[in-house]
């Protein structure tokens, strides 16, 4: 019998990087096959090649023994290959059934399609209402829509790209049940992930990638985590040094009963959020994306202001009504999750991007930009944070994501902040750089800075934070001390089930309606 | 690299122009000569060239300040008209027509009127979220009608044989010509100063830097705490001031009075000048000289060869088309472009 | 009664070019493209249709010529904005200037004499009804075509898969591309359609409404059509209502002048422009409402990633 899918010697180069180098793998019908690797290992490129969204420079792809010619997403779908993207390919402004109709080849008959969606989603234990607008759905529900969309095509091979990064631990369990049911019915599944425990729990086989190359094939259930990790990251596993925190007497950041209406239909309303962050500690905010993180961070950074100025205090000063640059005068620095276009101006040079937030540090004098000072500042950041760039004159958009992130983190830290806000510190950053950025943040906090981190990666939060908060539907949980909590508790809070119940004592009173 | 696109666009425009002339039955080379060279063959031609380039450059400098911040003031024509009206009003009705203060007062009046006309869209955009493109344009139509009302009605020169025009401005209300034989006058120094100010502002000042961030990446501007409304106000007022001054200089220079045809389309042509000049002060100077030549050439061939004056606008359009297209070939081909990610929570429609 | 009929029919007629142009632009903007060049495309359509009539072609051919001229002009914009990824504001402005120049050039020999206007329809029985006949059944065919276009576009946008594809491209061309739709090709079709509609609007002005040729005879109607799309918050029915509102404004202004109201005629002429500003302000203040139907990718250049 032919394998459902076989890749032979796939190579793909992008300018400056070899994304896939001589990758071969084969997947049997009904097999759940993991493609395991760190960020930047070439997993996503490989999946795009399998799906036909990108073309390999060389190598061959076989489906049920036949070579796939003239490969694009349409031919893939005709062959029964479906893909669930990490960032969903859903349109916010239309309904579930309309979204699904867009990728269905059947006649444009919304009522009967809606009926099919209802049936199928129930059969696989993930009910969805086909007539709801997508912007009203939670991220988990959106993923269901994506999966149901694929299932409607009765796929022979389903590709999932980091499907759990947006899910609560409980939703992950549900997803795995669905996937096992599918595999039992004969559908092959390609499961892309960088999470060892999930792969070990779910997958029959694993192909491990590192720097675009296959570094091993394993049966994850029979392989130790350490072995898998070695294959993923090589011999050097980065180590974190987290010393005990020494807290400042008074909190640097205080958030008091902060409520804010959503800006539009696509936003989330914040409800009565209260917490504080002391100098010397790192407080993390966990949660499934789209639960109000973006709104909260904008209100903390000053990108959005608030009418009640003591809703946010920085070093005791009421700051909620202040703009970002005014808050920066109080010692705030901020690393946003979008590097291009928010943390940096893509078409501007690095020295110009240094002026963006470092304009009080000698780079602007008498209303004029001091180019030499700005260049020196940028060069200092490039040097100290080992940013790979052609000096301060290169444009922000010419840097890789990880390097630009290092530049922005470096720039903000060079401002010697009293309070550092960081959103998704290591998204799309390779292992080495991630470890470096996390260590830098820890060191900064131990030197006395108050740090507030928003991340969707629980592992990351558990690694560096002293205390954890959980956000769900615009409400923030009482703080949990990292050493005395676990993923289970955080996961429950992420679903909002225990919100409002008095679990940790007095501090949760503020959360009740 | 920065001048490659304008040069390429100019050459392509010339080629298309030749084909166009040939298709009209005119020998291309002599026609191009008549269009682009003949106007500059005389002292008078040079004087006219600079005279027309001056308002174009002045207005384009003002507009470019806004364009850099993605503030689209395309109603300079209206601000120009209001500047001319206000300046003429001061010149005609100031109690002492021989006062040495007359010209400076007209200057201030023209500038203030242009700014006031631009302040309305600025207010509406920054406070009411109203699209400034449409408002500035509507304001242009209103300004033109207002001018028409004045010269047909209350301001009409009683001794003017019923022509829709005002009386001539007094001598003290006029910029001095360098030579009585030619029309070029001292108002060109205003443009020179404006170019230098524009360069200082956009290339060196922190305020100009903030505006360029607002234009290139609005979310980054908000991230840094640069006020969007400041960019809107500065961008529109700079254009309004420049256009108002240009209108004043036109009334107090070559025209010497108000009539319904106060502008041959300077306000719109200046938009093209700003783009040809890559929103850069010195580029705008070159763009203004080129555009002025198009105006002169259009008038020239209309007189000598009987070709329609609409050719000027066609050439302006073609030039801008080619410039935009040339930009693509020169910039996008060499630069790796990554689309910036959107942040929904921050974005406003 | 006669005055009412005159105002009513005048309003419907004055609104017709705005309906064509604004509905066309609505489709363009729904696909995520902003073409500011309506004024130029309308002028091209007006000039070419007028030329076709004076050259002796039958009326339907002339109107078609107007539509084709508008589409051809929009193609220039399309190439710049969609293939060359230029700033859509700049490309649209260039088209507005270029179209006004080319139309003036084409129209240089037209003279100032009017032509015989497009005939009104004459439907047996219906057109002869008292009151209702002149109110509803004696317009020229383009008035009915404009209404038919409204129905067709509403149906297309909200009832067909093609319309759904167009709207979702306007929200996120990246996603549309990812699920396999030819974003650029669809946007080209939208732009061409919008151009043809603007050309029709121009043709209506020069062969039915006025019917003579004057340089820049659109007098800002193309820009008002753009404002109408914003006013309508990107919904076809509101485009129709808005166009009637502006049509009514124009007619009241003309009636006012005809009645010899003691106001300067310039003030009355300025009313539609003033009204445009006021209406824009009222609509734009409500950001939430704007966001609801706003094509999220409007005026952002899109290049399919390989």
Ranges of residues in chain A whose predicted pLDDT is under 50 = 500-513
Closest-CA residue in chain A for C163?
Answer: A102
Q: Which long-range contacts (CB under 8 A, 24 or more apart) does C56-63 make?
A: C59/C118, C59/C119, C59/C207, C62/C203, C62/C207, C63/C118, C63/C142, C63/C200, C63/C203, C63/C204, C63/C207
Per-residue pLDDT for B340 more than 50?
Answer: no
The closest CB to that of B216, out of A324, A348, A367, belongs to A348
Check C292 against A108: CB less than 8 A apart. no
The strand pair at A282-286 and A450-454 is best described as parallel
Residue with the larger pLDDT of the pair A40 and C38: C38
The secondary structure element, H or E, covering residue C149 is helix C141-159
B1: pLDDT confidence band, cut at 50, 70 and 90? low
pLDDT per residue as tens digits for the range A356-411: 999 888 889 889 999 999 999 999 999 998 888 888 999 998 887 788 999 999 99
Check A108 against C296: CB less than 8 A apart. no
- Chain A residues within 8 A of C289 when measuring between CB atoms: none
Distance of CA B344 to the CA centre of its chain: 36
Mean pLDDT score, C118-128:
84
Mean pLDDT lowest for which of A54-58, B331-335, C34-38? B331-335
Test mutation, C40, C107, C280, chain B, max B CBs within 10 A? C280
- Chain B residues within 8 A of A341 when measuring between CB atoms: 217, 219-220, 340-341
Angle in degrees, CA A276, A282, A288, rounded to 5: 85
The DSSP secondary structure of B233-266, one letter per residue, reads HHHHHHHHHHHHHHHHHHIIIII-S--S---SSH
Token duo for residue A216: 């091993």
Q: Which residues of chain A from 55 to 84 reach within 8 Å of chain C, CB to CB?
A: 72-74, 77
Share of chain B above pLDDT 70, in %: 94
Alpha helices in A88-218 (DSSP H): 96-103, 110-123, 139-151, 169-184, 196-202
Check C94 against B348: CB less than 8 A apart. no
The closest CB to that of B224, out of A266, A325, A397, belongs to A325
Q: Which residues of chain C from 254 to 273 reach within 8 Å of chain B, CB to CB?
A: 264, 266-267, 269-270, 273
Distance CA A19, CA C256 (A): 72
pLDDT per residue as tens digits for the range C253-292: 888 777 777 788 888 888 889 988 998 898 888 777 777 7
C228: pLDDT confidence band, cut at 50, 70 and 90? very high
pLDDT, residue A398, reads 84
pLDDT, residue C158, reads 94
Check C223 against B313: CB less than 8 A apart. no
| Contact residues for A20 (Cβ-Cβ < 8 A; gap 6+) | A10, A11, A12, A42, A45, A46, A49, A56, A212
Closest-CA residue in chain C for B341?
Answer: C174
Distance of CA C201 to the CA centre of its chain: 5
- Chain A residues within 8 A of C160 when measuring between CB atoms: 108
Share of chain C above pLDDT 90, in %: 57
Q: What average pLDDT is seen over chain C? A: 90
Strand partners, A365: A368
CA-based R_g, chain C, Å: 19
pLDDT, residue A473, reads 86
Under 8 Å CB pairs connecting chains A and C tally to: 52
Check A267 against B345: CB less than 8 A apart. yes
> CA separation (Å) from C181 to A93, B5, B90, C186?
17, 33, 61, 8
The CA distance from A330 to the nearest CA of chain B, in Å, is: 13
Q: What CA dihedral angle connects B249, B253, B254 and B255, to 10 degrees? A: 80
Mean pLDDT score, C208-225:
91
pLDDT, residue A16, reads 63
pTM reported for the whole predicted model: 0.84
The closest CB to that of C274, out of B142, B327, B337, belongs to B142
Cα dihedral sign, A435-A437-A443-A448? negative
The closest CB to that of C98, out of B130, B318, B328, belongs to B318
pLDDT, residue B335, reads 43
Q: Give burial (CB, 10 Å; 0-12/13-18/19+) of A248.
A: middle
Strand partners, A253: A277, A314
Mean pLDDT score, B331-335:
51
Q: Give burial (CB, 10 Å; 0-12/13-18/19+) of B248.
A: buried
Q: What is the helix, strand, coil percentage profile of chain C, to 5?
A: 75, 0, 25
Comparing CA positions, the residue from A23, A328, A289, A48 lying closest to residue A161 is A48
Distance CA C204, CA C63 (A): 8
The CA distance from A146 to the nearest CA of chain C, in Å, is: 12
Mean pLDDT score, C37-53:
96
Closest-CA residue in chain C for B121?
Answer: C277
pLDDT, residue B298, reads 85
CB A418 within 8 A of CB A424: no
pLDDT, residue A245, reads 81
Letter string b/e over residues B255-274, b meaning 16 or more CB atoms within 10 A of that residue's CB = bbbbbeebbbbbbbbbbbbb
Distance CA C74, CA C70 (A): 6
Three-class SS state of A210: strand
Check B216 against A347: CB less than 8 A apart. yes
The strand pair at A312-314 and A467-472 is best described as unpaired
Check B209 against A264: CB less than 8 A apart. no
pLDDT, residue C252, reads 84
pLDDT, residue B248, reads 97
The closest CB to that of C273, out of B129, B142, B272, belongs to B142
B23 touching C, CB under 8 A? no
Three-class SS state of A334: strand
- ipTM confidence score: 0.85
- Chain B residues within 8 A of A340 when measuring between CB atoms: 338, 340-341
Comparing CA positions, the residue from B296, B298, B278, B295 lying closest to residue B287 is B278
pLDDT, residue B234, reads 96
> CA separation (Å) from B190 to B78, B246, C162?
20, 9, 56
The CA distance from A93 to the nearest CA of chain C, in Å, is: 7
CB C296 within 8 A of CB A93: yes
pLDDT, residue B332, reads 57
Q: What average pLDDT is seen over chain B? A: 88
């Amino acid at each position: 019998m032919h394998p459902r899918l076989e890749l032979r010697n796939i190579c793909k180069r992008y300018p400056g990087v070899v994304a896939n180098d001589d990758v071969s793998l084969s997947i049997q019908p009904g097999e759940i096959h993991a493609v395991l690797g760190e960020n930047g290992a070439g997993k996503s490129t490989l999946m795009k090649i399998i799906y036909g969204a990108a073309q390999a420079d060389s190598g061959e792809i076989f489906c049920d023994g036949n070579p796939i010619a003239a490969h694009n997403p349409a031919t893939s779908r005709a062959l029964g290959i479906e893909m669930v993207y990490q960032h969903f390919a859903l349109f916010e402004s239309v309904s579930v059934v309309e979204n699904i109709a867009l990728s269905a080849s059947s006649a444009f008959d919304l009522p009967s399609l809606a009926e099919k969606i209802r049936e199928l989603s129930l059969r696989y234990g993930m009910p969805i209402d086909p007539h709801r607008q997508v912007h009203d759905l939670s991220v988990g529900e959106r993923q269901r829509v994506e999966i149901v969309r694929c299932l409607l095509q009765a796929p022979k091979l389903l590709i999932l790209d980091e499907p759990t990064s947006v899910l609560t631990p409980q939703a992950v369990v549900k997803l795995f049940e669905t996937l096992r049911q599918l595999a039992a019915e004969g559908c092959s599944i390609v499961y892309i992930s960088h999470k060892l425990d999930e792969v070990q729990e779910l997958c029959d086989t694993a192909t491990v990638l590192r720097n675009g190359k296959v570094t091993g094939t394993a049966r994850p259930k029979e392989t130790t985590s350490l072995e898998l990790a070695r294959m993923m990251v090589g011999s050097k596993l980065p180590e974190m040094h987290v010393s005990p925190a020494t807290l400042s007497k008074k909190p640097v950041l205080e958030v008091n009963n902060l409520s804010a209406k959503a800006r539009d239909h696509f936003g989330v309303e914040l409800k009565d959020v209260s917490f504080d962050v002391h100098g010397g500690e790192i407080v993390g905010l966990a949660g499934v994306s789209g639960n109000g993180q973006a709104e909260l961070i904008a209100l903390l950074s000053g990108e959005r202001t608030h009418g009640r100025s003591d809703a946010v205090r920085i070093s005791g000063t009421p700051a909620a009504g202040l703009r970002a640059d005014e808050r920066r005068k109080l010692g705030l620095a901020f690393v946003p999750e979008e590097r291009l276009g928010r943390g940096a101006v893509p078409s501007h040079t690095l020295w110009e991007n240094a002026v963006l937030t470092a304009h009080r540090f000698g780079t602007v004098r008498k209303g004029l930009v001091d180019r030499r000072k700005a260049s020196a500042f940028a060069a200092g950041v490039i040097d100290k944070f080992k940013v790979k760039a052609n000096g301060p004159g290169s444009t922000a958009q010419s840097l890789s994501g990880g390097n630009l992130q290092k530049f922005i983190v470096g720039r903000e830290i060079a401002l010697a902040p009293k309070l550092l806000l960081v959103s998704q510190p290591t998204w799309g950053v390779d292992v080495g750089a991630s470890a470096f950025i996390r260590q830098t943040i820890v060191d900064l906090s131990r030197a006395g800075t108050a740090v507030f981190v928003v991340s969707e990666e629980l592992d990351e939060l558990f690694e560096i934070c002293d205390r954890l908060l959980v956000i769900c539907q615009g409400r923030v949980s009482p703080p949990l001390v990292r050493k005395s909590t676990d993923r289970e508790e955080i996961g429950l809070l992420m679903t909002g089930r225990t919100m409002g119940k008095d679990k940790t004592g007095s501090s949760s009173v503020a959360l009740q309606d | 690299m920065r001048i490659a696109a304008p040069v390429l666009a100019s050459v392509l425009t010339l080629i298309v122009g030749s084909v166009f002339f040939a298709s009209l039955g005119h020998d291309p080379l002599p026609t191009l000569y008549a269009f682009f060279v003949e106007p500059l063959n005389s002292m008078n031609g040079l004087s006219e060239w600079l005279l027309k380039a001056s308002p174009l450059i002045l207005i384009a400098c003002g507009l470019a300040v806004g364009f850099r911040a993605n503030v689209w003031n395309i109603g300079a024509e209206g601000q120009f008209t209001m500047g001319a009206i206000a300046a003429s009003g001061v010149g005609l009705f100031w109690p002492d027509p021989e006062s040495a203060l007359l010209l400076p007062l007209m200057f201030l009046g023209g500038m203030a009127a242009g700014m006031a006309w631009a302040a309305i869209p600025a207010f509406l955009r920054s406070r009411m979220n109203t699209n400034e493109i449409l408002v500035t344009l509507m304001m242009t139509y209103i300004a033109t009608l207002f001018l028409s009302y004045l010269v047909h009605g209350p301001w009409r020169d009683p001794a003017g044989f019923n022509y829709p025009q005002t009386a001539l401005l007094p001598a003290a209300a006029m910029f001095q010509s360098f030579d009585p034989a030619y029309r070029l006058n001292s108002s060109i120094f205003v443009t020179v100063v404006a170019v230098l100010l524009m360069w200082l502002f956009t290339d060196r000042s922190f305020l100009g830097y903030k505006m360029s961030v607002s234009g290139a990446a609005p979310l980054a501007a908000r991230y840094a705490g640069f006020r969007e409304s400041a960019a809107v106000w500065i961008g529109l007022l700079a254009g309004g001031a420049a256009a108002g001054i240009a209108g004043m200089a036109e009334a107090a220079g070559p025209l010497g009075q108000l009539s319904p045809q106060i502008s041959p389309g300077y306000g719109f042509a200046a938009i093209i000048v700003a783009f040809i000049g890559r929103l850069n002060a010195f580029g705008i100077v070159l763009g203004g000289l080129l555009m002025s030549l198009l105006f002169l050439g259009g008038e020239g061939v209309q007189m000598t060869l009987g070709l329609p004056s609409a050719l000027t606008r066609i050439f302006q359009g073609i030039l801008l088309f080619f410039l935009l297209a040339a930009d693509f070939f020169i910039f996008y081909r060499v630069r790796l472009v990554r689309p910036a990610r959107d942040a929904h929570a921050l974005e406003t429609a | 009664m006669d005055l009412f009929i005159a105002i009513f029919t005048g309003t419907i007629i004055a609104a017709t070019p705005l309906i064509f142009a604004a509905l066309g632009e609505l489709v363009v903007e729904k696909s995520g493209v902003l073409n500011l060049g309506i004024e130029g495309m309308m002028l091209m359509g007006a000039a070419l249709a007028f030329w076709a009539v004076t050259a002796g072609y039958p009326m339907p051919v002339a109107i078609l010529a107007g539509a084709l001229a508008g589409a051809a002009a929009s193609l220039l914009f399309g190439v710049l904005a969609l293939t060359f990824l230029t700033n859509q504001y700049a490309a649209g402005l260039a088209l507005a200037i270029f179209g006004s120049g080319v139309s003036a050039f084409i129209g240089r020999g037209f003279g100032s004499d009017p032509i015989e206007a497009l005939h009104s329809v004459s439907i047996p029985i219906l057109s002869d009804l008292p009151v209702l006949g002149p109110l509803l059944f004696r317009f020229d065919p383009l008035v009915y075509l404009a209404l038919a276009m409204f129905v067709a576009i509403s149906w297309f946008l909200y009832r067909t898969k093609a319309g759904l594809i167009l709207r979702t491209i306007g929200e996120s061309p990246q996603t549309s591309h990812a699920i396999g739709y030819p974003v650029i090709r669809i946007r080209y079709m939208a732009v061409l359609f919008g151009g043809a509609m603007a050309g029709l609007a121009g043709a209506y002005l020069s062969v039915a409404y006025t019917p003579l040729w004057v340089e820049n005879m659109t007098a800002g109607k193309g820009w008002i059509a753009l404002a109408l799309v914003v006013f309508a918050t990107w919904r076809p029915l509101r485009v129709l209502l808005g166009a009637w509102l502006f049509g009514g404004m124009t007619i009241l202004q003309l009636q006012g002048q005809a009645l010899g109201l003691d106001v300067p005629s310039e003030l009355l002429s300025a009313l539609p422009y003033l009204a445009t500003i006021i209406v824009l302000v009222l609509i734009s203040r409500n950001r939430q409402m704007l966001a609801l139907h706003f094509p999220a990718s409007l005026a952002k250049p899109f290049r399919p990633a390989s």
